[in-house]
Amino acid sequence: MNCDDLRASLLRLEGRGYPAYKDLRGRYDFGDFCLELVRVQGDPFAGPSRLGVRVEGDVAGFPRALYSSRVRRIALGDYVARRFALLAQRCSRSRGSGKSGRLKMERPGQQVLEQSAVMVGEDGTLELRFTAGLPARGRRIAGGEAEAMLCDDLSELVAATAYYESQDAAELELHVQTVEDSCALRDQLTEHGLVAFVANGSVLPRESGVDDRPLGDDVVEFVSPASLEVELTTPNAGVVRGMGLATGVTLITGGGYHGKSTLLRALEDGVYDHLPGDGRERVVALGSAVKIRAEDGRSVAGVDISPFISDLPGGRCTRSFFTDNASGSTSQAANIIEALEAGARLLLIDEDSSATNFMIRDRRMQELVAKEHEPITPFVDRVRQLCEQHAVSSVIVIGGSGDYLDVADKVVGMRDYRALDLTAEAREVAARFESGRRFEALNGFEAPAGRTLQRAGFDASRGRKEVVVKVRDHGVIVFGEHEIDLSAVDQLLHPAQLRAVAEAMLHAGACFADGHRSLAEVMDLLFDELDREGLSVLARNGEGDLAAFRRHDFAAAVNRLRAPVIKLARQG
């Protein structure tokens, strides 16, 4: 069928009951592209219809250099998605009842992520996925309006976004090069003994807590202390200079409101690439960096938190710890162990979002409450063991506990939003004012035991519905009868990532979780498949609202699923 067939069909449907739209499902040849109606809504007030457009590489006409690598294909897809989402919003208008007339593509944020909205093949072919509210008057089809939207407006939208000749070539090239350079910086961290890098000239402050765009007025650009400055090389921008944070234990300190948490937030986000003009395009961290915080009330299933918490009152076991309502300290301990289990090599911690009794016990509290009556071994006594025994580094924002000066390799001070190397001063202060506290980690830090996943725990059914999976505001996944609260997982930034994580749980439960494989083994299989096949593996019904996520995000969701998914930790 072709465009003329679709036009004729839409006009014939004028005035018929809305469900008649379902007869249109299928593919239509528009000459330069192919349109597919993947899922057709049954009511104008229901969720919109899902559509797909395919433009062959020789028709799209993008130069091969723009899609010559996986990184460049992701960047090109992101650029096209941004244009399509913006222009679709501009051309959408009310065409009747409910959501009639709305064309919508998932709009990316400041980060550049692989997404199912626009996928670029190795031959330059583009596949676009988006939604459309098919027009109606009441619950009757508005065939003429549908014809104008699907045959005319959509053709113009595709022409303006999916063909190279319609693009700003210089802007597109910069977009792709910026992402490629960011990946190159991140790839060089390990060989240079670094865990993070902040380029000189970066703009770290954001507009607000709910607006991730760069702060525009009177911003202080980042400049590295000379003693911490390193040079890295990028394929497009050449040599880039900035602050390199080495492996080990780094403290970020300084007075309140001087930029400590702003710097840490930029490092958290450094696991992602950013679009040009974001200000953090050349701020990168190890891809396995994980933000750790206290999370009162979360569920914990079979986690060995004994390196931090042992001998709980009542004889509760902490080598396979279960609770539906974790405290601040037990949740933070579980978050660290789970991060290690998922392969973290860098922990990012802000004292403001941590449990105080988990972070430190000073000399006076050690005297008041003897160690034999305190089950918590504070993080200050484990942080060097993590580094030396497991090659896990830490970057910690500290403004209130000088005891951390004794365990730090480097101390970065923030003063009036400017970074200073305070390592020498910190060591002099630590030597002059000894804390007198006793070291409380009386044994080594054992590697976390593997935990196996049970397929039955991934049941997403609800009532008569075989699968109920959706995302709510504020970071909540509805998974069958369960709600998974990921609002405290700071590095999950976009609803499209949450949707992809939910679909990945369905897929992993069906394909990989067999009651014998560990969580790490299941994640290895899942992410190997995603690397080979892309997000289309997870798009059961042609969804265009999925975005790439990390194995740590998947693990976070599984670990918070209040269902019997995880078996007891293997002992040994």
pLDDT (tens digit per residue) in 368-390: 999 889 999 999 999 999 999 99
Q: Comparing C-alpha atoms, which of 246, 251, 204, 209 is closest to residue 400?
A: 251
Q: Which residue has the higher pLDDT, 572 or 529?
A: 529
The Cα-based distances of 543 to 46, 47, 106, 127, 250 in angstroms read 16, 12, 10, 12, 42
State the pTM of this model: 0.94
pLDDT band, very low/low/confident/very high, at 568 (cuts 50, 70, 90): low
Q: Comparing C-alpha atoms, which of 43, 3, 40, 46 is closest to residue 22?
A: 40
Q: Is the pLDDT of residue 335 over 70?
A: yes
Q: Is the pLDDT of residue 323 over 60?
A: yes
Rounded mean pLDDT, 485-496: 94
pLDDT in tens, 6-20: 999 999 999 999 999
Q: Where are the domains of the chain?
A: 3-167, 455-559
The Cα-based distances of 9 to 2, 3, 5, 221 in angstroms read 11, 10, 6, 58
Least confident of 50-54, 165-169, 207-211: 207-211
Rounded mean pLDDT, 171-186: 98
* Distance separating alpha carbons of residues 468 and 485, to the nearest angstrom: 16
pLDDT for 569 equals 46
pLDDT for 291 equals 98
Helices (H), 23-63: 57-60
Helices (H), 342-476: 356-359, 363-368, 383-390, 423-432
In degrees and rounded to multiples of 5, residue 368 shows phi and psi of: -75, -40
Q: Is the pLDDT of residue 567 over 80?
A: no
Q: What percent of the chain has pLDDT over 70?
A: 99
Q: Is the pLDDT of residue 552 over 60?
A: yes
Rounded mean pLDDT, 539-560: 93
pLDDT for 317 equals 84
Average pLDDT over all residues of the chain:
93
The gap from C-alpha 133 to its chain's centroid, in whole angstroms, comes to 29
Q: Is the pLDDT of residue 572 over 60?
A: no
pLDDT for 571 equals 43
Q: What percent of the chain has pLDDT over 90?
A: 83
pLDDT in tens, 502-525: 999 999 999 999 888 999 999 999
Q: Is the pLDDT of residue 76 over 80?
A: yes
